[in-house]
Structure 1
């Protein structure tokens, strides 16, 4: 196994992919907050009290 192309760990691809997922999650959280009028904690509480 070559040390130049690691499969596990902090690779450039993993950091970029994780950052993009975090940006998408933050954006979707803001959109649902605008659409529902409830914050993130309020949305989670509403889901748990079904």
Structure 2
């Protein structure tokens, strides 16, 4: 694989897209846990949705 093709983003269900999806999901999950631990209430209550 040449250096030119390595930096090209392929759209769709690729392994790179799935890796980023998993990473962002983990960040969201840890952020939700941190909000609950710090505030003592759920995320939806914290944002005033419920």
Question: What is the alpha-carbon distance in structure 1 between the residues aligned to residue 35 and residue 23 of structure 2?
Answer: 18
Stretches (4+) displaced over 6 A: none
Is there any run of 5+ residues in structure 2 with no aligned partner, and where? 1-7
Task: Give the total of aligned pairs.
Answer: 42
1:38 aligns with 2:50: no
| Counterpart for residue 14 of structure 1 | 17
Is there any run of 5+ residues in structure 1 with no aligned partner, and where? none
Question: What is the alpha-carbon distance in structure 2 between the residues aligned to residue 20 and residue 6 of structure 1?
Answer: 17
RMSD (Å), alpha carbons: 1.9
